[in-house]
Structure 1
């Protein structure tokens, strides 16, 4: 989360910083986004959009909020663009030809190559990262449901005879709830990615 002094649910600039963030393995960004149905180059703040817009009972605002939280969660992770350290093959190593480079003058992110070894290694990395986000969520003293119930009671009390929460307390609850929702979204995104990897690994074995 960023220190703005106010809470904006779904703020695309929000990020999750885990205590062990620097020791977590990097995930393949292009494959992760593909698994989530998102397109775009995340590097240097590139725009990310859904390949097929989702529908939500809350309508378009809820769709945009869900996408914003998902992007914030994903962009909080250590992502790799798929390029090995340049070695051999000249100045650019194994980078793709310049004709496929982006408008920013850099090669586009590379997806996983689809080999069983690569997929298995990526799934192990996903499990490690997912466990870290889940642990961060589990160790919090209150749950998402608890915070939501507190805020619901606060909003209802604001227009009635009951006493609402003090404004600073309500803001603090909204802040910690948003943090929990981002953690939960990170876990959900990684679960989707793991299923995507498992399916491609299974299909690869069938073809092989």
Structure 2
């Protein structure tokens, strides 16, 4: 939540949708809070009626929370024995799907980058790792543990790199970060999305790991 001080003009001043007639200008500190509108959009809203667009960080935060809430609804729906309860949770899941789709679109629009590369979030299930794009012989569990400790300490990991061919998102760089998010029970991960086919993802992964971060140089098995 953020605040900004402004000078309200004399006249109508709205508080909780009630019109309060003020004779003198009143200083008001906006307390903006993200709120879902009836039309399915998310805005930063103040009780005085002021609105502003949410920035990317807020959209990304709500994207992750929506995915988490959707999964909670799915689990509760599976546990429910009542037909009415199952229908209630199914509707909640459908509503979250709409919010997730809208948030994805807005994040892509607002993210920096060229037409060929964008920054966004993807759910872990959306990312494919079965196309031969993993350049290492195996996942280093010690390195995954190290990354988990970094997340627990509040550090944000670098986004993974994926290639989108119009149908599938191929993971090209960040297999250990992907495994870390999976182990931590996270539903989504930050990504740099490039336009390209699976073969381009393979070529990128080889180049990325040839001169990778000092924390995990390539082993002899990786090079082979």
Q: Using CA pairs under 8 Å that are at least 6 residues apart, name the structure with larger relative contact order, 1 or 2.
A: 1
Q: Which structure has the highest strand share of the two? A: 2
Q: Which has the larger radius of gyration?
A: 2
Q: Which has the higher helix share?
A: 1
TM-score, normalised with respect to structure 1: 0.31
Q: TM-score, normalised by structure 2?
A: 0.29
